[in-house]
Structures are given as C-alpha cells and as structure tokens.
Amino acid sequence: MIRNSVWASIEACKNLIRNIVLTVNLDCKLDLKVIALQVRNAKYNPKRFAAVIMRIREPKTTALIFASGKMVCTGAKSEKQSKLVVRKYAQIIQKLGFPAHFKDFEIQNIVGSCDVKFPIGLEGLAYSHGAFSSYEPKLFPGLIYRMKQPKVVLLIFESGKIVLTGAKVRDETYTAFENIYPVLTEFRKVQQ
Amino acid sequence: MVWCTHCGKDQPTERDDINGFICCTGCGRVHEDNIFSSDPTFVKSAGGQSQLSGNFIRDGQYCSYGRLDGDLNHDYGFRTDSHLKTLEKGKEEIEIIAESLCISGREAMVNAGHRLYIIAVERNFTRGRRTKQVAAACLYIVCRKKSHFCSSIFQMSYNYVLGAVFLQLCKLLRLEQHPIIQKPVDPSLFIHRFTDRLLGRTTSTKQYHAISNTALRILSSMKRDWMQTGRKPSGVCGAALYISALSHGFGCTKADVVSIVHICEATLTKRLIEFEKTESGSLTTEEFVAKAKELEAEMQSMKVPTRNSEIKGIKGITELLCEHKGTDAKHFAHGLCSHCYNEFVKVSGGIHGGSAPPAFQRAEEERRKESLQIKQDKGFFDNDEDSISCHKEDQENLEGNVKMTREKVKLTNEEMVEDGGACSQNGDNATGSRYKNTASTDVGTDNRNQDGQNGVTESCISEAAIGCPAETDDWSQLQFPESYKVGDDMGEELETLSDIDDEEVDRYLHNEEEVRLKTIIWTEMNKEYLEEQATKEEAIAAAEAAHAAALAAAAEGAPDAVELAAAAAAAVARLKKDKQRKRAEEAKNKVPPQSAAEATRQMLEKKKLSSKVNYDVLERLFEDNKKNVTQTSDGGKDIHNQSPAENVKRTRSVLWADEDSADFKNSKRQALQGEATEGNAVDFKEEGAEFKEERTDPNMEDGLEGDDFDVEGPDGLDNEHFQPYKLQYGHEVEYEYDYEDY
C-alpha cells in the first residue's frame, strides 16, 4: 500500500515546480532612468515604486531591478532556467554600460502545484490536523496547511489540486508533497 | 548547269537580259523568266495610257512571279520573302546590340551571332519571342564562347527574361553540356567593371587597383569558404566590393553598391553576415592581404598532397577521374590531373581549407540547438521523476552528459586540427570581427577575445558567446543554494547550457529613435516627480550650503558665533529629546478615549493622517453621539472633548511651534536681538526671517508652511479656531501652551 502511494505520488508530481522567485545582487549602482529609457520592456514609475520592472520573453520572466543593484526575478520554471534568466538580465544591464556581476544568487521561493486526482474532504482534514490547518470555506475555498517540517505552505482544494509554496529548495517541495500525500489519501472523499 | 527536265540532263543555260529569261541551250526550254532590269520600259495599257512594265522590287527580296523552275501553277505574286527578311532583321538587331556594347572585333562576333540566329529561326525559336531578345541571346552565347571580357558587360542588362531566353536557346542548340555554358560565371570578371562604376573618374588608378585587388582576394576567400556556390555572382561580388572599398577608406554606402550591382540591400547584408562568420571575416585588411599572398605563393609551388592515403575511401587512387579522363594527362591527386587539381584548390580551397558553407553552418546550428533543448528537457524530466535521493545522481548524470558532448566536440575538433585546416572558428560568430559594426561593450568583447586566446576550440560551426572562461570566474563567485554547490563543474555546465545571443540581447534594447521618443514620453509622464526631486535636491543643497557657511563662519573665529552655534546645536538636540520624552509620557498617560470622536481623533493623530481629515465633518459625525454623551456627562467632559480638538488642530498647523521650548525661544531671541556682525547672523537671520514672516502674517489661512507638515487646503483648519493663536503671535507675546499637559 505504501508502495502504491509512493508511486502514485510520484506520478502526480511529474510537473511539480511552477515558479521560482530569486534575488541576486548585481553589485553595482544602477541608474534606473537610463535603464528604463533604453530597454524595451522596462517600466519605471518612480512615484509608485522605486524599481524598474523589466520583462523577458524567453523564458517568460519578470525582474524588479533596484537602484542599489539588487534584483528580484520571478517566473522561471526551474533552477537552471533561473540561472539562464539572471544571466540574460545581467547581459542586458551590461550592454547599457553598467559593470554587472553576480553576487548572492539566492532562490527565495519555489512554487509548485499538482493534482492527486481524487477529491478530498477538507473538513475532516482541518479537524484532525487542526494545529496546522486553517480552513475558512467562506473566505477561501482552499485549506491552508502550514507544514512545519519542511517549512512549506500548502493550499489544498477539494478537487484534489494542491499548491505548494514557501520552499527554498526543490527537495523541500518534494518532501512536503510526500508528507501530505498519505494524509490526503486518508481523507479521500469516496465518490457517491 | 541547270537540270533541264526536257533534256533529262544538266545543260548549260543562257540568260537573256533583254527578254528576261533563262533558257536551256540544248532544247531551248525556258527555266525562269523573271528578270530584273533597272531600265524602265513602258507599255500601252487598254485605255491607251502608258504603264510601267514590271514591278518595283525592293533590294534584297526576290519575286517569285511567274514560274519558279518551271512551276507555272504557283503564282506567288509580289510577296517579300519573310524568311530572308527575318534573318536580315535579326542581323540588324545583333549589330545594334554589338555596337551599343562597344565590343571589339565586332564583325566576326556579329556574323557568328547571325549564324546562330539563322539556326534559331529555322528551329522556330523566334516564334513567340521578341527578336531583340533572341538576338541578344545569340550574341551572348558567342561572347561567352569566346570567353571574351565583354560577356561581363552583357550582364549589365541582366534581366530574367533574357536569362530565360538564353537558357532556352542553349537547350535548343544543345549547348548545355558545353563546358563554357556549364561553368558558372566567375564573379571576378565583374569586379573590374563594378569597381570602375563605383569609383567613378575621380579616384586615382592606384586606389582603383588596390580596391579591385583586395576585392578579388576577398572573392577568392569567399570561394574557398563555399559562399559562392549556388549564389548569384553579382551578390557575392557586391559584398566583396563593398568590404574592399570600405577597408581602403572609400566611403561608399550600401545603396551605392546596390545600385551598381543590381541586388537587393537585404541580399548584400546577408552576404556580409556570412562573410563575417567565416574565418577571414575577423582579419584586418593587412592580415587578410598577407594571408592571401601567402596562399597565392603556396599555390604557385603546389605540392602533391601526401595525406592521400589517410583520407578514407580515396586510398590509392591512381586512375584519372576528372574531365581529362582518357587523355594523356597524368594523375596528380585525388583522381584529378594537375590542372584540374589546381583549379579545384583555387576554387574551393582544397580539402583542408575553407570553412563550412553558410547553409551547412546554419543547419548545424539548428541541429545543435535542438540537441541542447532535448538534453535540457531530458535533464528536467530526470529530475522530476526521481526522488530526492536520486537528485545528486542526476547532477552527476548531467555532468556526464555534458562531459560527453565536450568529448565529442573535442573529437571533431581534433579531426579538424589534424587536417591542419584553419579551424579556429571559436566563437568567431560573435567575436569582435573588425568588419562588424555593432558596438559591444568592452566586457563582452574582452571575454570573447580571451576565449579566442585560450583556444577553447569548438567545432568549426561557430557558437556565439559560448565557453567564456572569463565568465566561469563570475560563476564561481556565485553562492548557489546548497543542493547545487557542485563547484566548477556547475560553472562548466552553465556555460554549455546557456547560450545568450548578442542578437537576442540587442533585441531587448531600444534603438536611438526609440530612446528619444521614450525619453520625451517618460519625462512628460513623470514631470511632477521630477520637479519634486529637483526641489528636494535644491533644498538639500541650500541646507548644505547654509550649514557650510555656518561652519565657515564659525571657523572664522568669532567666539560669539561659535558659542551661538554650539548653543543652537545643543538646543536642537535638547528639543529632540524633549519631543521624545513628551511623546513617551503622552503614550503612558493617555486618557482612554471617552467617546468615539476622541478615539477617532487619537487614532488619526497617531497615524499622522490628520492633515487629510476634515475636522468639521468629523465633529459633526459624532455630534449626535456627543449630544447624547454631554447630556449624561459632566461639563468637564465637554471641555475635555473640546480642547483636544483645538489642540489637535493647533498641533497640526503649528508644528514648528510645538518644537519650541521656552529655552529655545529665548536663545533664538537673544540671537536675533543681540546680533552685531553680519557673518554670524547668516543662518539665524534666515531662520529668524522665517519666524517673523510666519508670525506677522495674519492673513494666513492654511497655517504656516514649513517642512514638517503639508497642509492641503483650508479643510483641516478653520479660521475661527486659528485666529486667537495667530493674534497671540502677532503681538509677540509669550503665550502659554495650553496643551502642555495634553
């Protein structure tokens, strides 16, 4: 049984990772006005937010670039992609004449989602795992499960779809999923 | 001697001009009786008028009036022989063309062309085609056959119809297999002509020769790099000429070249890019010329290649397989005689030389990109499938893959190197080719140059911006999240997996026009912000200047000033402390709000939103409540309620006064009054001026505008509430602060 569950869980999480948020320090002061004016997909509205919002088409990502040289990048689908993306952004900045380097490349958050393919009784789950769960159906249809180890937050929905977020490393996402899967099967809703 | 049907044998004939017939001398039979005479004879017609006998016949035509060889039945009438006429016309056309092209040795050419034309007419080739075109095609064939220089002149009026006609004619005349026609036109024939047209008459012959020679060398290099095969010679020609002209300082534009060579600008650009991708594209003019000379010298002393046996499949060929097969020519190399082999080397650079043809290069790049993509996907897939424990293994696998590809690359590399070919095609794609005009940053080019020097050779299909050892340094500085700390291998992996094109990055940048427009738009949109920034900066600058001046003044040495400065500084510090203390006390001693209104006000105050609050409305809001409250509560409470409101207003509107403690005020007063020297009074006076202004202006509605608060509109404050305060100020009376204990 356990084996089946493991296999099923592996099946379910084939396409797990959806989004990666990372920060990197380009290690040089930037002139945001220059960047905003010369880069095609760059938005800069200093009154509203003190950073340039730059986008890249391939892979489809967005970066917030601050005047201090720090950059936040989101939208990459994998770690490798994220590295490529950071290089691309850095190259663009370099082209404008700023001596950009990579310093403190750090993945801040990994978001994943998957489908266990069976409906889940959230009520029961919330009751039994009261310490970790927060389920307010009137506010939000999903159950918010705050796993302590690893420190990952899962949004569990009745349809069987799961969203995992908060992991700093891919493994954490996997572990979290592994941990939650038996619980989900326990509260599986039998079709009527 | 004409065959006489009556006699049954050939008989000599006699021509009788008077009567106009030709008759057989044997039997007297008349063969022909249409004789032309130039003397007009007249006969009388039926009406008695004299008529000219005979007809007018134009020169060059004959009339088959009467009998032709005894054939009485056919009466052709006065019909011009269109056949002959056609031929004559054709010859005329050929003559005209030959004349306009100023070909030397015209007669022979024209005649030869005319002969071809006759054949064409006989084969009905002229039907459905314009005479001019056919004539031109015939003449062209003749020119080509003669390998005359003028064949290039012909290209001048190159148009597709003519080309089609020419090809058809070749087919008709069975000339397809003729080597002259088969051989592609050598673009080097055109160089001189184009150069001439490009340079005009103003440049010296020396420059002309230099440019055309360089162009020829470039052309031969292009030939070796397979750029010329399958392409129109004019395109390749144009590119070579353009490069050569520019490199000699003759500033011709692409448009010039295009107008001469009759190609599209896009084509020219394409050829230039292809050339730049080749190995020669990265050399300077001098280097290039030197190399060309080297090659030429080499060609002079051509040696038999000794590597014959090493190349598979051609082992031990001694049979002659070239076009001179069967002749006495001796086998030289690779199944070719010496002549053919030399030609082969000249055209293609031999087996060792040259780079891959551009089409092949492109295909290779595509293939490589695809394989990378597949590898990447595979890598992802692997990662997703296996559990955590397998993760590390995947890493290793991936590295293994990477290493394998590197091995493969190395292998192919070695092969190339072994051949001794000039295959240092490392990143020549994007390397600073001197012929290239893009502006890459110094960092970028430095990286790539280093790359070249380190000789990280990849396959001769150049890859853009790959394998920059300089960049590994950057990457090794990276602090990867733990599961990815695999050290230098990661760096390598990154290099080979990521492939950031310069082009791609350029796509993300605006060109100049766009930048200009965007600047305009952005400045418009963010005008306010920019103005704010400007004023802020001014204020800071002014404050700094004042400060600097004060310091300077202090440094000048007047003891009073120093004391004053010290006192002022101390006062400011004390003020701050007082403020903090007061705030702490207030927080501690705050009376819990008695009513909703009070609570709201306190909250607002705390949140420092009060300036945006309409107090009238606020009061009225709670009026009902208050009424209820006041009915049941003491008067004191009312007062209590009231005073905070006023006090609040006062705090908001005259915050600067808030900061005043009696001491500070005194000290300032002293400063103002006891001022003697100008220099010392600089900063105090300013502040004093502010003081005075604010105090003595009774008409101020909104309160005092200082740095600590912005009061927007008279909403927050009522005049009535404000007045008593102002009056007090007006009299410069020391007033007591009601709300000290507030």
- Exposed e or buried b per residue across B207-241, where buried means at least 16 C-beta atoms within 10 angstroms of its C-beta: bbebbbbbbbbbbbbbbbbbbbeebbbbbbbbbbb
CA atoms within 13 A on the CB side of B362: 6
The answer for A 95-114 residues in CB contact with B (under 8 A) is 95-97, 99, 101-107
Both structure tokens of B64: 């088959």
Are the CB atoms for B667 and B568 separated by under 8 Å? yes
Q: What mean pLDDT value characterizes chain B? A: 65
pLDDT at residue number B140: 82
Minimal CA separation from B404 to chain A, in Å: 19
pLDDT at residue number A138: 92
Q: How many CB atoms lie within 10 A of CB B127?
A: 9
State pLDDT tens for residues B12-23.
888 877 777 888
Q: Smallest Cβ distance to A105: which of B480, B505, B507?
A: B480
> Nearest residue on chain A to B440, judged by CA atoms?
A95
Average pLDDT on B107-132 reads 86
Contacts of range B291-294, beta carbons closer than 8 Å, 24 or more positions apart: B292/B217, B292/B220, B292/B221
pLDDT at residue number B418: 41
Q: How many CB atoms lie within 10 A of CB B724?
A: 12
Minimal CA separation from B287 to chain A, in Å: 30
Average pLDDT on B251-265 reads 81
Query: Would you say residue B613 has pLDDT above 90?
Result: no
Q: What confidence tier does B346 reach under pLDDT thresholds 50, 70, 90?
A: low
- The Cα–Cα gap between B268 and B670 comes to 84
User: Which residues of B are less than 8 Å from A58 in CB distance?
Assistant: 504
Instruction: Name beta bridge partners: A163.
Output: A113, A155
- The Cα–Cα gap between B110 and B280 comes to 44
- Which stretches within B174-311 are classed as H helix? 179-182, 188-199, 205-224, 233-247, 254-261, 265-277, 285-300
Average pLDDT on A129-133 reads 92
* Dihedral sign, Cα of residue B205, residue B207, residue B212, residue B216: positive
DSSP B325-337: TTSSPPEEETTEE
Instruction: Name beta bridge partners: A153.
Output: A146, A165
Per-range mean pLDDT, top range of A117-121, B276-280, B554-558, B727-731: A117-121
Q: How many CB atoms lie within 10 A of CB B593?
A: 15
Q: Looking at per-residue confidence, does A24 or B3 come out higher?
A: A24
Q: What confidence tier does A124 reach under pLDDT thresholds 50, 70, 90?
A: very high
Q: What confidence tier does B88 reach under pLDDT thresholds 50, 70, 90?
A: confident
- The Cα–Cα gap between B369 and B463 comes to 10
- What is residue B56's DSSP assignment? -
Residue B585, C-beta contacts closer than 8 angstroms, at least 6 positions apart: none
pLDDT at residue number A168: 92
**Is residue B37 classed exposed, middle or buried when 0-12, 13-18 and 19+ CB atoms within 10 A define those classes?**
exposed
Minimal CA separation from B741 to chain A, in Å: 40
Both structure tokens of B189: 């024939």
Helix (H), strand (E) at residue A54: strand A51-56
Place of tokens 């049954």: B8
Q: What is the largest CA-CA distance in chain A?
A: 65
State pLDDT tens for residues B454-495.
333 333 333 333 333 333 333 333 333 333 333 333 333 333
Q: Looking at per-residue confidence, does B405 or B164 come out higher?
A: B164
Which of B127-136, B163-172, B252-261, B463-472 has the weakest average pLDDT? B463-472
- The Cα–Cα gap between B668 and B656 comes to 14
Nearest to A142 by CA among A129, A123, A127: A123
pLDDT at residue number B350: 60
pLDDT at residue number A62: 94
Q: How many CB atoms lie within 10 A of CB B584?
A: 10
Query: Would you say residue B535 has pLDDT above 60?
Result: yes
Query: Would you say residue B384 has pLDDT above 50?
Result: no
pLDDT at residue number B70: 46
Residue A156, C-beta contacts closer than 8 angstroms, at least 6 positions apart: A120, A122, A125, A142, A143, A145, A162, A180, A184
pLDDT at residue number B309: 43
Average pLDDT on B175-180 reads 70
Are the CB atoms for B64 and B106 separated by under 8 Å? no
- Exposed e or buried b per residue across B75-108, where buried means at least 16 C-beta atoms within 10 angstroms of its C-beta: eeeeeeeeeeeebebbbebbbebbeebebeeeee
- The Cα–Cα gap between B488 and B472 comes to 8
Query: Would you say residue B258 has pLDDT above 80?
Result: yes
Average pLDDT on A98-112 reads 88
- Which stretches within B590-633 are classed as H helix? 596-607, 615-632
> Nearest residue on chain B to A83, judged by CA atoms?
B494
Residue A61, C-beta contacts closer than 8 angstroms, at least 6 positions apart: A55, A73, A74, A75, A76, A85
pLDDT at residue number B58: 58
What ipTM was estimated for this complex?
0.74
Q: Smallest Cβ distance to B508: which of A36, A40, A83?
A: A40
Mutation for B interface: A6, A23, A37, most B CBs within 10 A:
A37
Minimal CA separation from B546 to chain A, in Å: 29
Average pLDDT on B221-247 reads 81
Which of A16-30, A65-79, B286-300 has the weakest average pLDDT? B286-300
Q: Is B500's CB within 8 Å of A95's CB?
A: no
pLDDT at residue number B151: 53
Q: What confidence tier does B209 reach under pLDDT thresholds 50, 70, 90?
A: confident
Instruction: Name beta bridge partners: A17.
Output: A112
Average pLDDT on B394-415 reads 43
Query: Would you say residue A120 has pLDDT above 60?
Result: yes
Residue A108, C-beta contacts closer than 8 angstroms, at least 6 positions apart: A21, A22, A23, A72, A168
State pLDDT tens for residues B648-693.
444 444 444 444 444 555 555 555 554 444 444 444 444 444 444 4
The answer for A 18-77 residues in CB contact with B (under 8 A) is 33, 36-41, 44-47, 56, 58
Q: Is B388's CB within 8 Å of A171's CB?
A: yes
State pLDDT tens for residues B144-170.
777 655 555 555 455 677 778 888 888
Residue B91, C-beta contacts closer than 8 angstroms, at least 6 positions apart: B110, B114, B117
Q: Is B507's CB within 8 Å of A40's CB?
A: yes
Q: Smallest Cβ distance to A39: which of B480, B508, B526?
A: B508
Nearest to B136 by CA among B680, B156, B640, B209: B156
pLDDT at residue number A110: 93
Ramachandran angles phi, psi of B41, nearest 5°? -115, 150
Are the CB atoms for A26 and A64 separated by under 8 Å? no
- The Cα–Cα gap between B161 and B32 comes to 46
- The Cα–Cα gap between B17 and B492 comes to 105
Q: Is B479's CB within 8 Å of A39's CB?
A: no
User: Which residues of A are less than 8 Å from B509 in CB distance?
Assistant: 38-40, 92, 95-96
User: Which residues of B are less than 8 Å from A15 in CB distance?
Assistant: 384
Average pLDDT on A146-160 reads 92
> Nearest residue on chain A to B385, judged by CA atoms?
A14
- The Cα–Cα gap between B73 and B370 comes to 82
DSSP B364-420: HHHHHHHHHHHHHHHHHHHHHHS-HHHHHHHHHHHHHHHHHHHHHHHHHHHHHHHHT
